[in-house]
Chain A
């Protein structure tokens, strides 16, 4: 397959090494970190208004975290050797260490927190359910059916502690993904100390937005009323995080423009040609400025509930598109120009191949299937059928 090249590329650079699957990897990991941060708002920072989304956020984080390594695995030339990263890790490699950060986050934070939070229900279900469900719940109790008041108090305290540890862990998880790119000095498009921080904030934006959309969608599917106090609070946090994220990205951009180092002319040309649609139009205008304006308007003007719901929904969808475009522009954009700064190559996305579009779509659908299973097993919904529109949510641990 002939790949169109403009100018001069080093001969081995013409073919892109990291495909759409590697675009998915930071996108999915970001959703995990962001969803967890949203959950921690309720648990640690006592933002009671977002309580209806607490458990949904945790399950969303888990569903996406389980899928996060799959794009990497599928992309490897030798997937059967991937365990070597754990058995014989090369300690100076950012990628090798990510394996441990991932494992810590999955086993040490997320699974533990979800288990502690659901333990009482799991024990109850293991006694009341029947058939194969009963067997699953019995396994999930991990052999402990003690739900005495003292034991639940310990769960609560331990859960709080884990969330406390989980916040820096979530930052670490996605900050580390940023570091994997930001630490490549050979690539000026990636090499930036701001990269991990930008990744953390964009992760929060995408995770908060995803949970907001999932909450709206699931509430609608269940025929319930959306708790507007909760939705308004999430939207407000989304706006704040988005403003920080956008400011950081613009700071990075301004620095690059003003410094105008040896790579600038080449990268600037790339942004104005190959990345114009995906970066300027989709990521910045459609996926960042528009949702910020939409969310900002709801803070200034008064809208009825139905209008706010629609605005939040639209802003949420645009945000997801914008963050995906951001990941695309980082990963694909970083490979379109030559390290000689004299030419550009083209990304030809395959369709039904191991690293093709079809696989990417399947990998994006998979977390939702996992989430559906998780929600069936561990219902995250508040017990009260209809929530008061502005009433305080029940205290944690009593649902």
Chain B
């Protein structure tokens, strides 16, 4: 076959794309797991959280999260009387080591665990220039670190401050909802260790999941609902001061 210059110009990029596909390989298989049968989220029961930090420690250990960065963290809110717009918030070392006692000067204190909201309309996925971050068919937002450019656009786009650049890989990182565990029938590391059951993994597509009964009987909210991101981390008993 004669290859003309014009033909070569068409063939070369096509060959490059094909080669990338070969290099990408095939994903790790979980034979008994059907992605289309699940739609994952999480329930956080704020009144149950005692701020012990077990979840953040377990997450860091399970996912090899570098020191000073957080896939999940806990915030302590202190709201004085009616000053709902100006809460005092702290999260020393992401709450990993728990919290020192708070001086009792009136007002209320409570803990709010935070993690990626695995938004159905996630702004971080929208802005990724190469599609390295994506929503799986079972509703989990993941990052392909072998593909991420490290441009940090997704970090800017996340309204909840859930993303960071891992200094070891120089790629974006965030909560993966322990995808390696939940696809094998386990719960997430944070839910596993929570001593009060304040965090519960929820499969919104499974009609038998207790989340449905809970949502029916409780007043739940998502963080920053005005952002319209389709957040799937539901908070029970969340005060209006939480942001």
Contacts and interface: CB of A to CB of B under 8 A. Distances in A.
Contacts of A87: 13, 16-17, 20
Most chain A C-beta atoms within 10 Å of own C-beta, residue among B17, B89, B149, B171:
B149
A94 B91 contact: no
B41 interface: no
B69 interface: yes
A95 B152 CA distance: 11
Interface in B120-177: 123, 126-131, 147-153, 155-165, 169-171
B227 interface: yes
A11 B160 contact: no
Contacts of A9: 161
A93 B13 contact: no
Contacts of B152: 17-18, 75, 77
Q: Which size bracket describes the interface of B in this complex?
A: 35 or more
A93 B153 contact: yes
Interface residues of A, number: 40
Contacts of A92: 126-127
Interface stretch (A31-39, A56-64, A339-347, A367-375): A339-347
A184 interface: yes
Interface string A16-47: 01100000000000000000000000000000
A339 B148 contact: no
A169 B235 CA distance: 47
A338 interface: yes
A76 B149 contact: yes
Interface stretch (A78-86, A310-318, A382-390): A78-86
A88 interface: yes
B73 interface: yes
B162 A84 contact: no
A85 B91 CA distance: 37
A10 B112 CA distance: 12
A84 B70 contact: no
Given A8-B89, A339-B161, A185 B123 contact: yes
A336 to B, nearest CB: 13
Given A12-B162, A76-B151, A88 B131 contact: yes
Interface string A306-335: 000000000000000000000000000011
A339 B171 CA distance: 22
B117 to A, nearest CB: 12
B243 interface: yes
Contact of A88 (B17, B156, B164): B17
A76 B147 CA distance: 12
Contacts of A95: 127, 129, 151, 153
Nearest to B130: A84
B61 interface: no
B40 to A, nearest CB: 22
B113 interface: no
A96 B126 CA distance: 11
B130 A342 contact: no
A220 interface: no
A263 to B, nearest CB: 11
Contacts of A184: 123, 127, 156-157
Nearest to A81: B149
A202 B90 CA distance: 40
A93 B162 contact: no
A84 B147 contact: yes
A77 B89 contact: no
B166 to A, nearest CB: 9
B94 interface: yes
A81 B130 CA distance: 10
Contacts of B75: 8
Contacts of A90: 128-131
A149 interface: no
B129 A13 contact: no
Which of A10, A184, A340, A341 has the most chain B CB atoms inside 10 A of its CB?
A: A10
Contacts of B13: 87
B149 A94 contact: no
A186 interface: yes
Contact of A77 (B129, B149, B157): B149
A89 interface: yes
B98 interface: no
B148 A78 contact: yes
A187 interface: yes
Given A77-B170, A87-B17, A95-B151, A10 B130 contact: no
Contacts of A338: 161
B87 interface: yes
B114 interface: yes
A3 to B, nearest CB: 10
A334 B155 CA distance: 13
B210 to A, nearest CB: 30
A342 B127 contact: no
A180 B152 CA distance: 12
A121 to B, nearest CB: 28
21 contacts: A9-B161, A12-B164, A17-B156, A77-B151, A77-B169, A81-B130, A82-B149, A84-B20, A87-B13, A87-B20, A93-B127, A96-B130, A184-B156, A184-B157, A186-B156, A186-B157, A186-B159, A339-B159, A340-B89, A341-B243, A342-B89
Closest 3 CB pairs of A and B: A77-B150, A10-B161, A77-B170
